[in-house]
Structure 1
Amino acid sequence: MKSWYLLYCKRGEQQRAKMHLENQSIECYYPEVEIEKMVRGKRKRVSEALFPSYIFIGLDTSIGPSFTTIRSTRGVMDFVRFGGQPHQVSESLITQLKECELGEQDCSQLPQPGQSIQIKSGQFSGFEAIYQEPDGEKRSILLITMINQQVTIKVDNTDVEWK
């Protein structure tokens, strides 16, 4: 019967480990998410690991390769262990992760440029603003009207509310 385990991989070698594990007919799950990131001042969609340096593997211990063979695979450091034994991950967790990964591509976390938003806390609390663009991962650039002039401000994403 197949069980899921979690492997710790060498830094930056998850793809190599996944390839070599799949060559041994081991089912691998390496969850990735697509995010918007600022790269050299431009917004870019990139794919990043949900759990950097970790890979889930589905393994039938009665017919599959041994734990030692898996640990010796290029890119793999070791199993995640509790009490000296490789820890089994529940099938429901893998199913939930796969469902979340599929559903996440439809929703965007940030508002669209030009969208009207409300500042709910911070020094500009109560102001209505126009969303311009993200400023890194945790802040946004907004336009607010002060003394009949539009002023550009930078605000933490936790301080604004959009729908």
Structure 2
Amino acid sequence: MAWYALYTKSRQEKKVAFRLEELGVSCYCPLTKKRKQWSDRKKWVEEPLFKSYVFVNIDLEAQSATVRKVNGVVNFVYWLQKPALIQDSEIVAIQHFLAEHAEVEAHGNLVNIGDFVTLDSGALSGQKAEVIGFKNKHEVRLKIESLGFELVAYINQGP
């Protein structure tokens, strides 16, 4: 048994997780709370943290065909032509992070201080640049290496 990431159809994450649970497949769809505003009201809603991703804890050889047949599943997320293996410690870290922080965002395409990037727009388009810092914000970050995501929770500082 190991954790794998499934790629789902757009906005089908919760439904896929429900269908997998109905089949007895151990799965995890991390949810975060977002405050949504409509013209007449504001409301807290739970949204999937990772768009189009659901995690399954399965025996790949025995259960992969069953998982792929679930309505809403596109396929496994692949890394080096194999289904991407997610570490147990990363799933636990996501669970703890979400338990500690109410509003969390997932940011892809990680860039770190010291990394070199190529500028893709503006007067310096095509030039390489080194990342030397970030704008100072009150935030907590959790890096998920195997997915290439970074979870960010913004902390409201009192007066």
TM-score, L = length of structure 1 = 0.58
2 CA distance for matches of 1:69 and 1:97?
26
Structure 1 alignment gaps of length 5 or more:
108-160
2:10 maps to 1:4: no
Q: Which amino acid is 1:80 matched to?
A: V
Task: Using the TM superposition, give the Cα deviation of residue 162 of structure 1 relative to its aligned residue in structure 2, in angstroms.
Answer: 4.0
Task: Using the TM superposition, give the Cα deviation of residue 41 of structure 1 relative to its aligned residue in structure 2, in angstroms.
Answer: 5.4
Q: Is the 8 A contact 2:14 2:48 kept in 1?
A: no
- Equivalent positions of 1:87-98 (< 5 A) are 87-98=84-95
Change (3 A) 1:72 1:14: same
Structure with the largest fraction of strand: 1
- % same residue: 27
RMSD of the alignment, in Å?
Answer: 2.0
Q: Which amino acid is 1:33 matched to?
A: T
SS in 1 for 2:101: helix
2:46 maps to 1:34: no
2:21 maps to 1:25: no
TM-score, L = length of structure 2 = 0.60
Q: Which amino acid is 2:68 matched to?
A: R
2:88 maps to 1:82: no
Q: Which amino acid is 2:16 matched to?
A: A
Work out which of the two has the higher radius of gyration on C-alpha atoms and give 1 or 2. Answer: 1
Residues 59-80 of structure 1: per-residue CA shift (max 9 Å, x gap): 1236x42x23211211100000
Task: Using the TM superposition, give the Cα deviation of residue 43 of structure 1 relative to its aligned residue in structure 2, in angstroms.
Answer: 2.8
Structure 2 alignment gaps of length 5 or more:
104-155
Q: Which amino acid is 1:74 matched to?
A: N
- Equivalent positions of 1:114-129 (< 5 A) are none
Q: Is the 8 A contact 2:36 2:43 kept in 1?
A: yes
- Which stretch shows the higher mean deviation, 16-25 or 48-57? 16-25
For residue 99 of structure 2, the aligned residue among 91, 99, 102 is 102
Task: Using the TM superposition, give the Cα deviation of residue 82 of structure 1 relative to its aligned residue in structure 2, in angstroms.
Answer: 1.3
